[in-house]
Every structure is written in structure tokens, then in C-alpha cells.
Amino acid sequence: MSESRGIEAPWERWAVRFGVFLAMLILVAPGAWVVLTAFRPNIEVLARPAVWIPQNPTLDNFARLFGFSSEQQGLPVLQYFTNSLVISLTSTVVAVLIGMAGGYAFARFKFKGKGTMFLAFMLSRTVPGVALSLPLFIIWSRIGLIDTSWGLILVYLAVNIPFTIWLTDGFFRQIPQELSEAAQIDGCTRWQAFWTIEFPLARSGLASAGIFAFLTSWNEYALASQLTRTTASKTMPVGLMDFTAQFTVDWTGMSAMAVLIIIPALVLTFIVQKHLIAGLTFGGVK
Amino acid sequence: MKFIHSQRAIPYLLLLPAIIVILSVVLLPLLVSLWSSMTAYNLTKPATLFQFVGLRNYERLLSNSDFWWAFGRTFVFVTITLNVEMVLGLGLALLINRVTWGQRTLRTVMMFPMMFSPILVGFQFKYLFNDAVGLVNNALFDLGLITEPIPWLVDATLAPLTIILAEVWMSTSVFGILLLAGLMAMPKEPIEAAKVDGCNPFQVFRHITLPFLMPFIYIAMTIRSLDVARAYDMVRIMTNGGPAGRTELLWTLMTRTGYANSQMGMANAMGYVSILLSIVFTVYFYRKLVAARAFMGGAQ
């Protein structure tokens, strides 16, 4: 911090710089190496002794994934990608709408059983996905939701709603209640006051809640791996797992698929980073 | 009917969709799970779902050494990773907090691992630690440190360590980010007063910084204990419980029993044990959080 700068010895400053450099290297290198691998021919990866600097950068791995290459690729990655996108987007939009209503109720109303209900929502989140997958598998197979996008969307709703409620409750509580009260005195209904005053103010918070919900669904594996069976509903993480099991030495192909999973995560991290910390801490501390 | 149209009904109506979803996708399955854990349900024989056997599955679990090993391993795994992540995350936060230039960028970079799918992190480390083509072995070779490849994920002692490393890489940021937020929210006056009174940096950290950070540490612990089971994805792709069951955690054993061996009744009994384990961890840290918050009451 700046106030300690004056008494900081030069060696200390260099130690901090070195430490930061090392930490960032450890955080970035693994992902960067996978990205790099995605743009190399497989021969280069398998070469002995190791080739460190890419000699022949190529887009061939991605072409193979999407079936644009003469070389046959065994996995319908494009279909998995579409499934992932549809499932994650749908569950996100619905989870944010439902969670927003719930968060608003907790932030603005006093009602019987409020504390218990809030706790119950949060406790529902402690159930590990793997454990929940067992009974869901039993039920979904009996009512025909197994291996459907809707089956997975419904599950991700349940996973995302508690967290969305928690986040939006915090965001709504930060908006002074007087604002909507003033609008109501001026003749707005509570419904109008919400959409014209509180919703726009909470929009950034809702956006970050949405991004979290999206990433949770996009990244989820444990439930998806048991509740999907075919290309009808398999998602990218399940596809990546299949890939590693079937084509064990096609490291560049796997890396290319991994990159397709990373991209949304990276983009969204940049967008959400401003709201993340606020969202996570004020719910807990204040 | 009168209630539905009254003002008092509004919060309940707003919460209704959320309640319906949670009831039907979490609570109902948990009841089914509880029921099936008391049956001899076998996936290959659907009728066995109604063959009630009482607590037999739980009794068998108690005398099953594979289960106890997996349980113990999971407990140790969670304890080690949470503590290592806390210490490293604290170090990372203190470090970044001292940087004045480009702090925003560093914070964004710090967030990357949090956004990665656990299956992706697992793949990444499976690749980095592959004995034939992995970055780690390649580097050690070229530096002349080894002549034979190290079988990171095949060796009985190295495999669990590699998995712990992957888990720590993935989740240290959670602590880093939250503790950094704590450090930035911290008032400067007490530290300066302590320095004037002649406290050394260690004393300042021990008696002022650390107590202030405690609620943040417990928030991070609570958030982390909510998703410890993410480790399942990683183990699944990296070793799938091997070599010789040395990385078998409660969660991998559960799916193996349920899906591969079709013993759904038994698997659901394990499921309940794992749920209880998660709840115990979460509630433990949540209560610590509430206590720490009450203790900090005046300062906030």
C-alpha cells in the first residue's frame, strides 16, 4: 500500500515484484500451455526431445473438431457446443428471473418464516451434485427427462436459484427503499416502481448474477455426465471427458476442445470482475 | 382466497417459483434418495426399488473398509486443501495488496482459475503431469534433473499429491480474492496507531490485520465448503480413483457403486453420508462466520 512505500527497502520492493511475478506465472501458465497446444500439430506435442516453441502453428485442430477437415473426427463437438449454449443460456435467464423475484422478496418484505426460508435455500446448495445425481437419475429415467435438454435445464435452475437469490437480495438491499416509495407516492404501482426504479439500479448486479449462473451451468460436469446419454443433450464438459477416454493421445484435439470451453469463461471474467467481489462479500459481512 | 390477494401474500408469491423448483428438483429427489438408500435397489432390476431393507445398506457401509478408506481420504483431502488454499490465498492477497501498479489487471488474472470448469482444470493437470508429453516432465528432462519420466498420475503417492495440487490451483483464488477485498476494506488508523505505539509488522499482522480478516476467511471457507464436491470432476478425469484406489474419494466411490455396479440403494446411502459431510463443513464455517461477525460488530 502507498502509505508503507516510504519506509520500504529496495530489496523488499523487488521481493514483492518477484513474488507477484511467480504467482501470476503459476496462475497463467497451465491455461496458456493448453491454449498453445491447441494451435500445434500433434506430432510436435509427441516429439522427443520436447519442442518448446511452436514451429508450425495451425488451426487444423479446430477444423477437425467442427468436421471441416478431411481427417475424421469421432465426436460431434459442434452439437455438444450448441447443447451447452442452449442449456446454459435458458437456465440462466430463467434462474435470474426466478431468483430476482425471490431476492426482492427477501430484501423488501418482512414475512413469517423469512429466516428459515433463506437458510433452507442456502442449505439446498450444500447438496453435492454427485449425490443429487443418483436420485435425479432414478426419477428422470422414470418420467422421461433423462437425456433431454429440459431435464438438465431444470436441474441447473435448482443449482443456480439459491445463489442468485443470495446475490440479488444483497443488491436490492443496497438500493434505498425511499426511491421506490417516492415513485409510489407519485402514482406508480409497486410493479411499475420496481421496473422503472429498482430494476435499472440493480441491473449490473443482476448481470453478474447471470454470468455466475451461466458459468456454473457451462462448467458443470457431475450432474450432466449422469443425466445425459447421447448427442441429444451431452454438454461440452461431458464431451471433453469422452474425448480423453476415447482418443487418449490426441492432446492437440483435446486442447482445442478445452479452448472452446475456456473462451466464454475468459470473456465473462473480464465483464464480471468489477462486480464479483462486491457481490460475494456484502452478502456475508454486512 | 382472501390471503392470495392481500399484501401479506406478495413475498410468498414472489418466492413461489423458486420454492417449487427447489422442492421438485432438490427436496423430492432427496426423499427418493432417502427411500432408495433403505432398499436393495439395483439398476438392472427396477422392481427392487420397492424392496425395503431398512438400514441394511448403512450397516454394510459401516463395515466396508473401501468406504471408510474413501471417507477418510475425502476428509483428509478436504482438510488439507482448504488449509493450504487459505494460507496461500492469504499470502497472495497480502502480496497483491502491496502492489500499487496494475492491481486491477492482477485481480482479473487471479480470477481465471475460479472461472474454469473443474473438468477443464483436471484435463489441464492431466496434460501437464502426463509422464510422456507433460510440460512438467519435459521441463525436468531439459533441465537435466531427471533421466526417467516421473509417473505423476500412476504412482500411488504422487497421484494424490498431484490432485491436491490441481485442487489448490483451482481454488486458492477464492481465498485470494475475498481476503484481498477484506484487506482493501480495512481502516488504516488502527495499523498506524499500532506502528506509532511500536508494534513490529508481525505484531500488527497478528493482532490487527488477522482478526479483521477472520470474517472474510470464514466467508471463503463457507463458499468453498459448498463446492468441495467439485473435486469429483477433477479426480474423474485425472485418475478416476486409481492407481489401485489411492485417489478414490467418497464421490467417485459413490458413482462407481451406483452406476457402474448398479447398486443404487447402496450408492444413495453413501450419497447421504456425503451430503452430511458437506453440511457439517458448511455449517461449521458458517457458525464461525456468524461468531466472527458478532465479534467484529463494533468495528464494522
pLDDT at B49 over 90: no
Question: What whole-number distance in Å separates Cα of residue B81 and Cα of residue A281?
Answer: 22
Distance CA(A9)–CA(B129), nearest Å, equals 39
Q: Give domain status of residue A27, yes or no.
A: yes
CATH number of the domain where residue B185 is located: 1.10.3720.10
* Identity of the residue in B30, B111, B127 whose CB atom sits nearest the CB atom of A127: B30
Give residue A22's domain range.
Answer: 2-63
CA–CA separation, B14 and A114 (whole Å):
13
Please give the grid coordinates belonging to residue A6. Answer: 516510504
Residue A211 lies in a domain: yes
For residues A153 and A16, membership in a common domain is answered with no
Q: Do B255 and A218 touch (CB under 8 A)?
A: no
Which residues of chain A make contact with B268, given a CB cutoff of 8 A? 134-135
B122 in a structural domain: yes
Ordered alpha helix ranges (H), B186-263: 189-196, 201-204, 210-226, 231-238, 250-255
Last residue of a domain, one of A15, A34, A63: A63
Q: Verify that A20 and A116 share a domain, yes or no.
A: no
In chain A, which ranges are continuous DSSP H helix?
Answer: 10-38, 42-46, 60-65, 77-108, 114-124, 129-143, 149-174, 177-185, 190-193, 199-219, 222-227, 236-246, 251-285
Q: What is the per-residue pLDDT across A260-271, written as a single tens digit (0 to 9) for each?
A: 999 887 887 777
| CA distances (Å), origin A282, targets A118, A277, A278, A286, B187 | 16, 8, 6, 5, 16
Is residue A67 left, alpha or beta, with left meaning phi > 0 and alpha meaning psi from -120 to 50? left
**Residue A134 domain-assigned?**
yes
Residue B195, domain member (yes or no):
yes
Q: Are residues A104 and A43 in the same domain?
A: no
With respect to residue B3, please indicate whether it lies within any of the assigned structural domains: no
Q: CB distance B108–A269 less than 8 Å?
A: yes
Tell me the CA distances in angstroms from B2 to A105, A190, B152, one per residue in order: 20, 20, 67
* A69, part of any domain: no
Note which residues in 228-247 of chain A have CB less than 8 A from chain B.
237, 240-241, 244
Are A227 and A120 within one domain? Answer: yes
How many domains does chain B contain in total? Answer: 1
B187 at interface of A, judged by CB pairs closer than 8 A: no
Q: Cell digits for A223?
A: 450432474
Grid cell in block for residue A50: 520436447
A58 and A178 within one domain: no
Residue owning grid cell 417516492: A182
Q: Is residue A70 part of a domain?
A: no
pLDDT digits (tens, 9 = 90+) for A49-103: 788 888 888 888 888 888 776 666 678 888 999 999 999 999 999 999 999 999 9
Contacts of B28 in chain A (CB under 8 A): 139
- Count CB-CB contacts under 10 A for residue A93: 13
Asked if pLDDT for residue B99 goes beyond 90, the answer is no
A53 with A92, same domain: the answer is no
SS3 A234: coil
Q: Is residue B191 part of a domain?
A: yes
CA atoms within 13 A on the CB side of B276: 8
Q: At what angle do helices B210-226 and B158-185 cross, to 10 degrees?
A: 130
Residue B183 has pLDDT above 50, yes or no: yes
Distance CA A43, CA A57 (A): 12
Residues A85, A58: one domain? Answer: no
Percent of chain A past pLDDT 90, that is, above it, reads 45
Domain count, chain A: 2
A99 and A230 part of one domain: yes
Rounded to whole angstroms, how far apart are CA atoms B10 and A101? 10
At residue A1 the predicted structure's pLDDT band, cuts being 50, 70 and 90, is very low
- Whether A261 and B120 lie within 8 Å, measured CB to CB: yes
* pLDDT tens-place string over residues B119-177: 999 999 999 999 888 999 989 988 988 888 899 999 999 999 999 999 999 999 989 98
How many angstroms away from the CA of B97 is the closest CA of chain A? 6
Q: Do residues A96 and A25 both lie within one domain? A: no
What range defines the domain where residue B247 resides? Answer: 60-296
Q: Are A45 and A143 part of one and the same domain? A: no
pTM of the model: 0.89
The crossing angle, in degrees rounded to 10, of helices A77-108 and A236-246 is 140
* Residue of chain B nearest A23, judged by CA positions: B92
**A-contacting residues in B 194-253 (Cβ below 8 Å):** 215-216, 219, 222-223, 225-226, 228-230, 232-233, 236-237, 251
Q: How many residues does chain B have?
A: 300
**Residues A180-203, mean pLDDT to the nearest whole number:** 86
The CA distance from A57 to A45, in Å, is 12
Contact A237 B113 (CB under 8 A): no
B188 contacts on A by Cβ (under 8 Å): 3
Q: List the CATH number of the domain containing A248.
A: 1.10.3720.10
The mean pLDDT of B228-255, rounded to a whole number, is 91
* CB spacing of B120 vs A133 below 8 angstroms: no
What sign for the dihedral angle of Cα B221, B119, B73, A155? positive
For B1, other C-beta atoms within 10 Å of its C-beta total 5
- Point out the residue among B95, B117, B223 whose CB comes nearest to the CB of A221: B117
**Whether A30 and A160 share a structural domain:** no
Domain C-terminal end among A63, A88, A112: A63
Q: What percent of chain B has pLDDT over 90?
A: 53
Handedness of CA B218, B223, B225, B228 (dihedral sign): negative
Contact between A131 and B100 using a beta-carbon 8 Å cutoff: no
Residue B45 bridge partners (DSSP): B42
Distance, in Å, from the CA atom of A218 to the CA atom of A261, rounded to the nearest integer, reads 8
Structure letter (DSSP) for residue A50: P
In-domain check, residue A71: no
A135 and A229 in a common domain: yes
Whether residue A13 is contained in a domain is answered as yes
